[in-house]
Amino acid sequence: MTKKKILVIDDEWDIRNMIKSYFESDEYIILDAENCVEALNLISENDIDLIVLDIMMPEIDGISFCQSIREKTNCPIIFLSAKTLEEDIVKALSVGGDDYIVKPFSLRELKARIETHLRREERIKSKKRLLVRSGEVILDMSSKEVLCKGRKILLTKKEYEVIELLILNKGIVFSREKIFEKIWGYDSESDLSAVTEVIKNIRKKLREFDNEHTYIQTIYGLGYKWEVIYER
């Protein structure tokens, strides 16, 4: 398993060292910076999974720094601060922070918060990997559904499987024989006409939602391919 990189930004060496010592025994790589300039260099050079950020620091404070890096990274940011007023907490979260822990803090609580945010990020990334978009069509492999212009298309199991095969291989031509082999299998009692019928039904259903794109193109003498659509 790839170790997660956590960046700790705090001008107090004791806090950075305490967090580093506690977490590096687990599955983490801890990078630390005593100021925001040093932190910015580390963010530019590394793929950071999560940032622990102190608010009260010299020169550039944590609030300003959070605002400035939100265009560079979407990773979770957990603020550490001795400030306990509600307005301070609200401000920290409103500028792009994801969580707020008041000093002095428990390392066990910090670890629990970090793990919660990292799990959430993994779920988000996993969900994104399961969604494939082409033009107005979205293939949702987690729910085995296809949407067009935000509306669910009612498909048979074979129609969904054919769309999934073609959209995941955009621009690649599949013969009727190859589609039949992959979707129906050699032992099926159906024949190649089933492929033609399913393609016809898919096209009809897609046209009900979107007449602008062809989506499934016929390459005469060769087979079918999913149209490569470049998003504008």
Class of domain 131-226: mainly alpha
Q: Which residues, other chains included, contact 52 with Cβ-Cβ below 8 Å and sequence gap of 6+?
A: 6, 7, 8, 9, 10, 19, 78, 80, 110, 114
Other beta carbons within 10 Å of 196: 13
Residue 208 has pLDDT above 50, yes or no: yes
pLDDT score of 223: 93
Q: What is the mean pLDDT of residues 120-128?
A: 75
pLDDT class for 122, splitting at 50, 70, 90? Answer: confident
Q: Is the previous residue joined to 104 through a cis bond, with omega within 30 degrees of 0?
A: yes
- In this structure, what token pair is assigned to residue 193? 């006409």
Mean pLDDT of the chain: 88
Would you state the pLDDT for residue 121? Answer: 84
pLDDT of 138 > 80? The answer is yes
Q: At 187, which amino acid appears?
A: D
Q: What is the pLDDT of residues 140-187, one digit of tens each?
A: 888 889 999 989 999 999 999 999 999 999 889 999 999 998 888 876
Residue 1 has pLDDT above 70, yes or no: no
* pLDDT of 230: 55
d(CA 92, CA 105): 17
Measured distance CA(42)–CA(38) in Å, rounded: 7
User: What pLDDT, in 10s, does the model give residues 5-60?
Assistant: 999 999 999 999 999 999 877 789 999 999 999 999 999 889 899 999 999 988 88
User: Closest Cα partner for 131 from 121, 120, 123, 139?
Assistant: 139
pLDDT of residue 185: 81
CA distance 209 to 153: 9
- Tell me the CATH number for domain 4-129: 3.40.50.2300
Q: Quick one: which H or E segment has residue 65?
A: helix 62-69
d(CA 15, CA 82): 13
pLDDT category, 204, cuts 50, 70, 90?
A: very high
The pTM of this model reads 0.59
What the block records as the tokens of 46 is 């590394």
Residue 231 has pLDDT above 70, yes or no: no
pLDDT digits (tens, 9 = 90+) for 47-98: 899 999 999 988 889 999 998 888 778 899 999 998 888 888 998 988 889 9
Where do the structural domains in the chain lie, given as residue ranges? 4-129, 131-226
Give the number of residues written for the chain: 232
Calculate helix-pair angle for 36-45, 62-69, nearest 10 degrees.
30
Does residue 232 carry a pLDDT above 50? no
3-state secondary structure 169-204: CCCCCECHHHHHHHHCCCCCCCCCHHHHHHHHHHHH
- Please report the pLDDT score of residue 123 as a whole number: 77
Say if residue 127's pLDDT is above 70.
no
